[in-house]
């Protein structure tokens, strides 16, 4: 058109998918499928894992095998657990007819529901929604492995390594560090993945403590759960709450009744009462339940409830824990207080 500008017709057609693997496998963000595409990062992860030529390596969520290939080059055998059958097929195709085919075992299934075989080391870029349950599944795996090198969402990773007094220090920090030595290795930007996730990531090293701490797992978890009902409140105010005192008194009376006739542990019903305080088990703990809304009224009235309350508070005062806060306490302090409660006949499972 004279005196004007001619507009170019935009060609409309099917848009090329931005999150496809070159082999044609579509990645689903909803399933946590974010594949590492940076080869230098893959090399760094393998190097920091300290893999020996004799190691059997567990890989969780191998995807299309970018990390798997490097693990096969470094170790003796790789056991890859993958939920998506499309990825399993792609993985098998990639290594079929190569020298690695006899050293790769692929298990199709949900890693949380799978009985894991023996392995020396775990190296994994996992779907972030399974971070907490997977961490504790690994920590309680027998026989104990040497270490795990895992990619987590950055905030979750920072909770794992947080120290007393840190803002992110929580029940997850205490429980994980009680059973393992945890260290931060690498910060990983979102652009290192295809498709990129919405958050940055971190690589963490987890080394199970050997021997494992000699403490009743349910007892420890129940105790830590109560301490972190509101991590920034004093332990004195937490242990004066009516629902906490009621639960502990029930455990106390049950144990007193049992001790006269037989030496048995408390029933599963009492463990369920503990779980109700946190709404979820330790294995599902992501640290987000700190400072949860709870009934904060202190126990009132005379008689046995008041006597038991005095018993609980006397333990806290004896150990000088009444004005302490869970957010500031070390592993040793938690163990000391739990031992003092137990000696007074107060139990948490």
DSSP assignments along 71-132, one per residue = HHHHSSEEEEEES-HHHHHHHHHHHTTSTTGGGEEEEES-GGGS-----SEEEEE--GGGHH
Please determine, for residue 338, whether its predicted confidence score (pLDDT) is greater than 90. Answer: yes
Residue 349: its pLDDT value, please?
A: 82
Overall pTM surpassing 0.85 (yes/no)? no
Compute the radius of gyration of the chain from its Cα atoms: 25
Q: What is the mean pLDDT of residues 304-327?
A: 92
User: Other CB atoms closer than 10 Å to residue 62's CB: what's the count?
Assistant: 28
Q: What is the mean pLDDT of residues 60-88?
A: 94
Position 272 in a domain = no
Could you tell me the residue range of the domain that residue 97 belongs to? 29-208
The tens digit of pLDDT for each residue in 138-160 reads: 999 999 999 999 999 999 999 99
Q: What is the mean pLDDT of residues 213-219?
A: 92
Whether 198 and 76 share a structural domain: yes
Please determine, for residue 279, whether its predicted confidence score (pLDDT) is greater than 80. Answer: no
CATH of the domain at 220: 1.10.8.480
Q: What percent of the chain has pLDDT over 90?
A: 68
Whether 201 and 238 share a structural domain: no
Q: What is the mean pLDDT of residues 36-65?
A: 93
Q: Which residues are annotated as a binding site?
A: 34, 36, 61, 82, 110, 125
Q: Which residues are annotated as a binding site for S-adenosyl-L-methionine?
A: 34, 36, 61, 82, 110, 125
Q: How many CA atoms lie within 13 A of 225 on its CB side?
A: 28
Residue 24: its pLDDT value, please?
A: 54
Whether 181 and 250 share a structural domain: no
Residue that has been written with the tokens 């104990």 in this structure: 144
The tens digit of pLDDT for each residue in 17-28 reads: 444 444 555 654
Whether 193 and 227 share a structural domain: no
Task: Answer yes or no: are the C-beta atoms of 269 and 349 closer than 8 Å.
Answer: no
CATH of the domain at 130: 3.40.50.150
What the block records as the tokens of 341 is 């409660």
The per-type count for the chain, helices as H runs and strands as E runs, is 12, 9
Please determine, for residue 98, whether its predicted confidence score (pLDDT) is greater than 90. Answer: yes
- Mean of pLDDT over the chain: 83
User: Which is more confident, 270 or 254?
Assistant: 254
Residue 302: its pLDDT value, please?
A: 45
Number of structural domains, the chain?
A: 2
Q: How far apart are CA 233 and CA 323, in angstroms?
A: 9
Q: How far apart are CA 176 and CA 208, in angstroms?
A: 9
């Amino acid at each position: 058109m004279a005196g004007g500008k001619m507009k170019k017709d935009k060609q409309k057609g099917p848009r090329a998918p931005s999150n496809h693997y070159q082999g044609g496998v579509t990645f689903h963000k909803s399933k946590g499928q974010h594949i590492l595409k940076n080869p230098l990062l893959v090399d760094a992860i393998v190097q920091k894992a300290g893999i020996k030529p004799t190691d059997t390596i567990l890989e969780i969520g191998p995807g299309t095998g970018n990390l798997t290939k490097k693990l096969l080059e470094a170790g003796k055998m790789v056991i890859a657990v993958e939920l998506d059958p499309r990825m399993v097929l792609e993985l098998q195709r990639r290594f079929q007819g190569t020298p690695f085919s006899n050293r790769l075992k692929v298990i199709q299934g949900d890693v949380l529901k799978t009985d894991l075989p023996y392995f020396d080391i775990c190296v994994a870029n996992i779907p972030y929604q399974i971070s907490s349950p997977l961490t504790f599944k690994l920590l309680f795996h027998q026989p104990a492995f040497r270490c795990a090198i895992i990619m987590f969402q950055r905030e979750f990773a920072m909770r794992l390594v947080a120290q007393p007094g840190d803002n992110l220090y929580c029940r997850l920090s205490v429980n994980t560090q009680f059973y393992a030595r945890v260290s931060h290795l690498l910060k990983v930007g979102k652009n290192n993945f295809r498709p990129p996730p919405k958050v940055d990531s971190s690589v963490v090293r987890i080394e199970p403590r050997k021997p494992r701490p000699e403490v009743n797992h349910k007892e420890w978890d129940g105790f830590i759960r109560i301490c972190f009902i509101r991590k920034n409140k004093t332990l004195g105010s937490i242990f004066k709450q009516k629902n906490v005192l009621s639960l502990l008194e029930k455990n106390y009376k049950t144990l007193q009744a049992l001790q006269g006739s037989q030496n048995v542990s408390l029933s599963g019903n009492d463990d369920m009462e503990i779980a109700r305080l946190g709404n979820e088990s330790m294995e599902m703990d992501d640290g987000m339940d700190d400072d949860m809304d709870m009934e904060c009224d202190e126990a009132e009235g005379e008689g046995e409830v008041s006597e038991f309350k005095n018993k609980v508070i006397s333990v806290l005062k004896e150990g000088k824990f009444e004005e302490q806060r869970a957010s500031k306490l070390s592993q040793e302090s938690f163990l000391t207080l739990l031992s003092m409660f137990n000696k007074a006949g107060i139990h948490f499972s």
